[in-house]
Amino acid sequence: AASATQAMPASEQAAAAAAGAGVTAANWYWGPANRWSWHNTRRIFPTAQVSRGNSPVAALARADRDLSKINFTDPATRKSMTIAEMLDTTYTDGFLVLQHGRILAESYRNGLTQEQPHLFMSVSKSIMGTLAGILVGRGELDTGKLVIDYGPEMKNTVYQGATVRNLLDMSVDDP
C-alpha cells in the first residue's frame, strides 16, 4: 500500500537544507550530491510546476502484492537479487508497478513522498514515446510529418526542418 504522507518536520527541513549546502549546478548529477538534488532540483535550476488542471483525479484500482521477494538476475552483474535488494542497491526513491490499470506495488523511499516532485529524466521520454505510439496507432500522428505541421509556432527554431520521428529519436541538431 502507498505510504502515508505528511509535511516534513522543521528538523528534517533543516537537515535537508544542510544536506544540499554543497550541491551546485556543477555537481548535482553525480553521487553523493544526487541523493539530495534529485529531490530538490527546483532549488538548483529554474523550473515550472505544471498544473494537472481542475478535473477530478481518477483513482487507479489496487491489487497490492508483495513483490519484494521476487528474485531475478541483475543484467549488469549477472548476480541473483530480489526486488527489495535492487531497490536498496540502486537507491530507488519511488517504485510503482502497474498491470492492467491496477497498482500492484507502490512505495516511496529515501525521503520521497507521494506528493513531492522528483526529477523524471528518461521516464519523460518513455511516457512521450508511449503516448506517441498510441497516437500513431490511432492514425492521429504521422512520424514522417514535420514538427511545424503540428506546431506552426516552431517555425524559425531548431525544429523547423525536424520530423516527429527526429524528435522521438532525439536526433534534432542545434546548428
Instruction: Enumerate the active-site residues.
Output: 122
Planar angle of CA 124, 130, 131, nearest 5 degrees: 90
Q: State how far the Cα of 49 lies from the Cα of 18, in Å rounded to an integer.
A: 24
Phi, psi angles (nearest 5°) of residue 108: -125, 135
CA separation for the pair 28, 43 (Å, rounded): 11
- Phi then psi for residue 29, to 5 deg, are -80, -30
Write the DSSP symbol of residue 139: T
Vertex 50: Cα angle to 32 and 143 (nearest 5): 95
